[in-house]
Amino acid sequence: MNISLSQVRTLSTIASALLLAFSTASASAAPVKNIVLVHGQFADASGWQPVYEILTKDGYNVNMVQEPLTSLEEDVAAVERVLARQQGPSILVGHSYGGAVVTEAGNDPNVVGLVYIAAHAPDKGESTASNKNKMPGQIRTITTPDGFVFVDPIHFHEDFAGDLPTDLAEFMAHSQMPPAARVNTTLIKNAAWRIKPSWYMVAKQDRAINPDLERMYAARAHSHTVEVDGAHTIYISRAKEVAAMIEQAAQSVGN
C-alpha cells in the first residue's frame, strides 16, 4: 500500500499530539511528594515538627518556611523562595495567618493544592483584620509602640494554646514571633483558593480565630472540610489528623 507524503505528515502530527497528551496526563497523575508548611503569627516553624516527622516517615519531602512576619509581601516572598527549590508540584499548607500567606503564594504554578489549618483564607480585597472584625475571636493581644503584636503572656495558654501542656504553652508564650501589625491590614490581591483545590481543618475551640469565621472560609472556598476538637494549636495537638489531611490532599491531586 502506498502512503502519500501528506498522509505521513498527518500521522506524524497525530502521533506527536498523542505523545504530548500522554506526557501531560502522566505528569498530572504523578504523586505529589513535596509539602511546604507555613507558620502563622506568634510562633515559628518549629511547631510543625510533629507533622514534619509523620510526613517524612511516610515518604514526603517536607520543607518549612520561616517567614519574617514583617509584611505580607515579604512573607509571600519567603514562601516563593522555598517553593522555587522544590522539584515538581507541591502542596502548600498554612496555619493561622499563614493561610493568608499561602492564599497569595499559592498562585505559584507549581502549587497544586492548598491546605488550611485553623487559618485565614481571605478573598481579593480582604485582610485578616477586616474579616476578624466581622467575626471577632477572643485572643488578647498587646501592640508595641513600634507596631508589633504579642499575645499577652498571661493569657497565652488560654487564648492561643489551650490544647497544649502547660509547660509547652509557657515556653511558647515567652518565645513568641511577633508580627508587624500591618500584615493584618494588607489586602489580598489574588486568592489562589479560587482556582486551586483546597482542604480546611476547623478548630472547634479556637479563640484566636473565630471557628465560625473558619467555617465561612472553608465553605466559600468549597474546601474539603474536617472539624476537630482543639484550640488554635491543632497543628501541634492534632498532628496525626493534620498530617492525614495533607496526605489526602497530596494523593487527591496526584490521581
pLDDT in tens, 25-43: 334 456 799 999 999 999 9
Contact 99, 199 (CB under 8 A): no
Q: Would you give the end-to-end CA distance of the chain in angstroms?
A: 43
Q: Cell 493534620 maps to which residue? A: 242
Residue-level pLDDT at 23: 37
Distance CA 235, CA 255 (A): 26
Residue-level pLDDT at 31: 77
Q: At what angle do helices 239-253 and 49-57 cross, to 10 degrees?
A: 50
Residue-level pLDDT at 17: 41
Domain ranges within the chain, ordered by starting residue: 31-253
Residue-level pLDDT at 254: 75
Over the chain (255 residues), the average pLDDT of each successive run of 10 is: 48 42 43 96 97 98 98 98 97 98 98 98 98 96 97 98 98 98 98 98 98 98 98 98 98 85
Residue-level pLDDT at 25: 39
Amino acid identity, position 115: V
Could you name the CATH architecture of 31-253? Answer: 3-Layer(aba) Sandwich (3.40)
> CB-based contacts of 79: which residues, under 8 Å, 6+ apart?
36, 38, 65, 67, 92, 101, 102, 105
